[in-house]
Amino acid sequence: MDCDYYTDKELVIIYIGKDGKISTTITNRTTERHYVQDSDNFNEELQKLIKKYTYEKKIYENDTWIEETYKNKYLKKIKYLIPEIVKLIKIYKNVRSYEKI
């Protein structure tokens, strides 16, 4: 059975590298399939779910970790993936949902 809509998730890291330039790295990309429960208002329910699962979740911004648990979870991984980081600017999780074509 085919799905009703997809959700793409990715971690976006914006930083200043050793060369002094601002760079962006996108990692942890995933795509998930989702289904709408049988409903009388299928299109309305589908649009509501797509809107609900399209957002940007801040993790790090303005030299501040939004939550201490994010620092523990992401900092070691980021330093391993991008060793040339001089300064972090922003980290966020980008989540986009869209209808099956």
pLDDT of amino acid 58: 97
Contact 87, 18 (CB under 8 A): no
Size of the chain in residues: 101
Q: Percent of the chain at pLDDT above 90?
A: 82
**pLDDT tens-digit series, residues 49-83:** 999 999 999 999 999 999 999 999 999 899 899 99
Closest CA to 73 of 85, 63, 65: 65
Phi, psi of 49 (to 5 degrees): -70, -40
Structural domain harbouring 52: 5-99
Checking if the pLDDT of 22 tops 80, the result is: yes
Is pTM beyond 0.75? Reply is: yes
